[in-house]
Amino acid sequence: MSDTVTVTELNNATDPVLVDVREPNEHATGHVKGAINIPLDTLPARVDEVPDAEPIFVICQAGNRSSRGADIVIDLGYQAVSVDGGTQAWIEQGLPLETE
């Protein structure tokens, strides 16, 4: 099981590599700035699209998919953490979202 970080820890991270594992329509409605959208079901095949970084932050809407996504990334040999509470926690903290 992957480690977790809070949205505050993500917000305080310097140049984090962030993978949003929600579906494209969810990502388009609002996401953390700089998040790379790679839906959970495509993550194993697309992990090479993730820039080299340690750790890789993985986010979804509430934290369930991101936990599974972080586990996938870890199983592929990378260091990853799940963002606890996901985008919903980010919104609840009043942090800004980008839309497409």
Residues tagged active-site: 60
Residues of the chain with pLDDT under 50: none
**Domain residue spans of the chain:** 3-92
Write out the E strands in 1-100: 3-5, 17-20, 36-37, 56-59, 80-83
Would the pTM count as exceeding 0.85? yes
What 3-state DSSP class applies to 48?
Answer: helix
Let me know how long the chain is.
100
Give me the pLDDT at residue 55, please.
94
Q: For 18-29, write each residue's pLDDT tens digit.
A: 999 999 999 999
- CATH architecture assignment, domain 3-92: 3-Layer(aba) Sandwich (3.40)
Please check whether residue 83 is in contact with residue 66, taking contact to mean a CB–CB distance below 8 angstroms.
yes
* Alpha-carbon span 70 to 8, nearest angstrom: 18
Find, among 24, 20, 11, the residue nearest to 49 by Cα: 20
